[in-house]
Amino acid sequence: MATTLPTLRNLLDAGVHFGHKTSRWHPAMEKYIFTSKSGVHVINLESTAEKMAEAVNFLKELSASGKTVMFVGTKKQAANIIKVAAENCGMPFVNSRWLGGTLTNFDIIRGSVKKFEKNKKMLEGEEANALSKRDRTKLKEETEKAEKVLGGLVKLEKKPDALILIGAHDEKNALREAKNAGIPVIAIVDTNTNPSLIDYPVPANDDATKSIELFANLFSQIIKENKGAVVEKKEETK
């Protein structure tokens, strides 16, 4: 059964409408702001629903074409949510720290990922027994450290076809590289962000856990469903 889009009630219950303090706003977000209350901007959820639908339609097209979408969310409250959502739909992710050059120097990053995979395999195999205790401990520490920043990129064989940013304001480096690489971006944009920099901006609270979960899970399910449609189509043509 196809996933239905969250209703205005769902968005409201998740706190999607809460923006930042009025003193921290970006003027370009004005068209998405409904009002302000107690010094905090309130996002127009009808605008959120409209832009969310546009983002979802774009994701459907990408997924149905077998494209790769990378999830990015490095703030503390988003990290685990992003990991689970990306793994649910079999997509790469960055949830700890954005490595400079992930998109603009992809071959170098890919080399680091392969080295990480090699070291991890070594630790899990009999080769590790041939190492001294000191070298084994050092290799383990290096591998665990690499896991945090490279673990989500193992499945990324080439540059992604699109990025999903959970909080564009916090993922400026990823956004900058995507623009330089010509990669389209879907992003949650809070009231302190310039939405004109995003291909598919979705005005929403990018700090509340419930809001992050709502969008991360929605995007994950849309990708998963439409990837499944590609597989079914291939099987039908056999």
**DSSP codes, 198-222:** -SEEEE--SSSHHHHHHHHHHHHHH
Compute the CA torsion angle 172, 174, 178, 180 (nearest 10 deg): 70
| Max Cα distance, the chain (Å) | 66
User: How many angstroms separate the CA atoms of 190 and 151, rounded?
Assistant: 28
- For residue 18, give both structure tokens: 């809460």
CATH 1.10.579.10 correct for 8-103+159-237: no
DSSP annotation of 40: E
Task: Supply the angle between the helices 209-237 and 76-88 in degrees, to the nearest 10.
Answer: 20
Query: CA-to-CA distance for 81 and 171, rounded, in angstroms?
Result: 16
- Of 59, 45, 81, the C-alpha closest to 213 is 81
Mark out the alpha helices in the chain (DSSP H runs).
Answer: 8-13, 45-64, 76-88, 106-124, 133-150, 172-181, 209-237
pTM of the model: 0.91
Q: Angle at the Cα of 182 (from 178 to 183), degrees rounded to 5? A: 55
Residue spans per domain, the chain: 8-103+159-237, 107-151
Q: Beta 33-37 vs 40-43: how paired, if at all?
A: antiparallel
Question: Roughly how many angstroms between the first and final C-alpha of the chain, as a whole number?
Answer: 24
User: Tens digit of pLDDT per residue, the chain (238 long)?
Assistant: 678 999 999 999 999 999 999 999 999 999 999 999 999 999 999 999 999 999 999 999 999 999 999 999 999 999 999 999 999 999 999 999 999 999 999 999 999 999 999 888 888 877 777 778 887 788 889 898 999 999 999 989 999 999 999 989 999 999 999 999 999 999 999 999 999 999 999 999 999 999 999 999 999 999 999 986 654 554 554 4
